[in-house]
Amino acid sequence: MTIQQIKYVITIYETGQFSKAGEKLYVTQPSLSKAVRDLEDELGITIFERMNKGIIVTDAGEEFITHAREVYRQYETLYQKFRDHGSIKHKF
């Protein structure tokens, strides 16, 4: 599982469609689908039921997304806190 896959799942959930999420993320719909399918296979769950006009989130998907949002918020906080500190050289 990667942060990128987590971001993909959250965006799909928020937009309601793989195609809209792909546009928002600047990722092709097939690449997005593969990344989510790989994640579902890795975890052994189905996050989204794919429909012609969008998606339905499964019960396991709802639970995953709840935790994924928390993890992604923590990732963003960590990134913001330390992103500029990598270029600072400390002198002793």
User: Which residues, 6+ apart, have CB-to-CB distance to 68 below 8 Å?
Assistant: 6, 9, 10
Neighbours of 77 (CB within 10 A): 10
SS3 91: coil
- Confidence at residue 52, expressed as pLDDT on a 0 to 100 scale: 82
- Confidence at residue 81, expressed as pLDDT on a 0 to 100 scale: 84
Q: Which domains does the chain have, with CATH numbers?
A: 3-80 (1.10.10.10)
- Confidence at residue 54, expressed as pLDDT on a 0 to 100 scale: 81
Q: How does pLDDT run across 13-34, given as a tens digit for each residue?
A: 999 999 999 999 999 999 999 9
- Confidence at residue 64, expressed as pLDDT on a 0 to 100 scale: 97
Q: How does pLDDT run across 47-87, given as a tens digit for each residue?
A: 999 888 889 999 999 999 999 999 999 999 988 888 866 55
